[in-house]
Amino acid sequence: MDVIVSVDDFRTAARRRVPRWLFDYVDGGSYAEATLLRNRSCFNEHPFLPRVLRQIAQPDTTTTVLGVKHAFPLILSPVGMGGMLSAAGEGAAARAAADATLSMCVSHFSIASIENLARTVDPARLMFQLYIFRDRAITADMVRRAWDAGVRTLVLTVDTPVTPLRERDARNGFRRLSRLSGRQICQMAFRPRWTLGVAQRSERVIGNLVPYSMGRTLFEQAATISRSLDPAIGWADVAWLRQLWKGQFVLKGILHPEDTERAAGIGADAVILSNHGGRQLDGAVAALETLEANVATAAGRLEILVDGGFRYGNDIMRALTLGARAVMVGRPWAYALAAGGEKGVRDLLTYFHEGLQSGMSLLGADRIQNLQEENYQVPV
């Protein structure tokens, strides 16, 4: 029996439960994985300066993100093919988030379709992540489907003009093969509980792509995706999408303050500072390192969210003291889903919430707004 008290413990448990090729797909980064490591190490550069004797018994962690109330400022990030990690699928993560009064951003490449997930939970608790395809009719149809499902927040990912080398995926044959290899099947044989659980599911392909004839199997779809996405999108395409979408509009993958300025000018409601979990440009800065500059540029015109390397409640607190509205986590919920299904994700969210509450008490902050109104950072 695994004793799980941290995100690292969820990760260890996940590694024991899913095939190596699937674990590496979730866990790995691009090239030398320098940015993946930087996403964690950068937290050490922002020590706290706590206050004491403030009579804080129970900090108030509630907040709103894009007008939606949250029990605390955390959102589940999109994880492509995340539903393959457990027979419970993405629906389990969506339920866990909604029941905790949080939200989930559904991946364009989720196993469960946006329609199925919107029937699982209140769609007000869902955001939908979108990529722009070469065939704009597919993109426009996905926008329509998300809206018709009741989703009101669209998240356009803008940092993936190409997919770089991810050495772990290359060694495992992921994205290169149109069907399972003998090596992958062998790895699955050593994970019988996962294999039997997933085999019994009705959903075993990328649900959002089924209407567009991109392959009959998950591996065929994965091989088709890289050829189908538009590598040359620009601000004109963002403006087109902003006009097409009637709800809240968010850009994910921003790091430079000048891009935040462009996003504000084009009518975005928020940006998500992100280096795609260290899976795109290796050597890029961590999103946390650009947070203060982007908050200053936004100047209250749009909300600033941030992801990358968040593993503790104190990490959430760091981002909030630097001006973030909320943080997003991807790998942690993927590990938790693989390790324990829906209960695993629920336990993960409790872990983050309790960590944030205790951190705020120790810091001397009685509410979320207080984290941004007072200076809890060591002067540079």
**Catalytic residue positions, numbered:** 276
Identity at 148, one-letter amino acid code = D
The secondary structure of 119-163 as a DSSP string is: HHS-GGGEEEEE--BSSHHHHHHHHHHHHHTT--EEEEE-S-SS-
Tell whether residue 246 is among the known ligand binding residues: no
Tell whether residue 321 is among the known ligand binding residues: no
Tell whether residue 310 is among the known ligand binding residues: yes
Tell whether residue 331 is among the known ligand binding residues: yes
Tell whether residue 308 is among the known ligand binding residues: yes
Distance separating alpha carbons of residues 41 and 322, to the nearest angstrom:
16
Tell whether residue 252 is among the known ligand binding residues: yes
Tell whether residue 307 is among the known ligand binding residues: yes
Name the region of 54 (left: φ>0; alpha: ψ -120 to 50; beta: rest).
alpha
Tell whether residue 176 is among the known ligand binding residues: no
Distance separating alpha carbons of residues 135 and 201, to the nearest angstrom:
30
Tell whether residue 278 is among the known ligand binding residues: no
Alpha helix positions (H), the chain? 7-17, 20-27, 34-41, 89-99, 114-120, 136-148, 167-172, 182-189, 192-199, 218-228, 235-244, 257-265, 287-298, 313-321, 331-363, 368-373
Tell whether residue 311 is among the known ligand binding residues: yes
Tell whether residue 212 is among the known ligand binding residues: no
Q: Which residues pair with 304 in a beta bridge?
A: 271
- Which tokens sit at 180? 């399972």
Tell whether residue 41 is among the known ligand binding residues: no
- Which tokens sit at 186? 């062998």
Distance separating alpha carbons of residues 278 and 138, to the nearest angstrom:
28
Tell whether residue 107 is among the known ligand binding residues: yes
For residue 78, what is the DSSP state? P
Residues whose CB falls within 8 Å of the CB of residue 106, separated by 6 or more in sequence, listed in order? 78, 90, 94, 112, 114, 117, 126, 127, 128, 129, 151
The b-or-e profile of 161-182 (16+ CB within 10 A means b, else e) is eeeeebebbeebbbeebeebee
Tell whether residue 79 is among the known ligand binding residues: yes
Other CB atoms closer than 10 Å to residue 255's CB: what's the count? Answer: 21
Tell whether residue 6 is among the known ligand binding residues: no
Name the region of 180 (left: φ>0; alpha: ψ -120 to 50; beta: rest).
beta
Tell whether residue 25 is among the known ligand binding residues: yes
Q: Which residues are annotated as a binding site?
A: 25, 78-80, 107, 129, 131, 157, 166, 252, 274, 276, 279, 307-311, 330-331
Q: Which residues are annotated as a binding site for glyoxylate?
A: 25, 131, 166, 276, 279
Q: Which residues are annotated as a binding site for FMN?
A: 78-80, 107, 129, 157, 252, 274, 307-311, 330-331
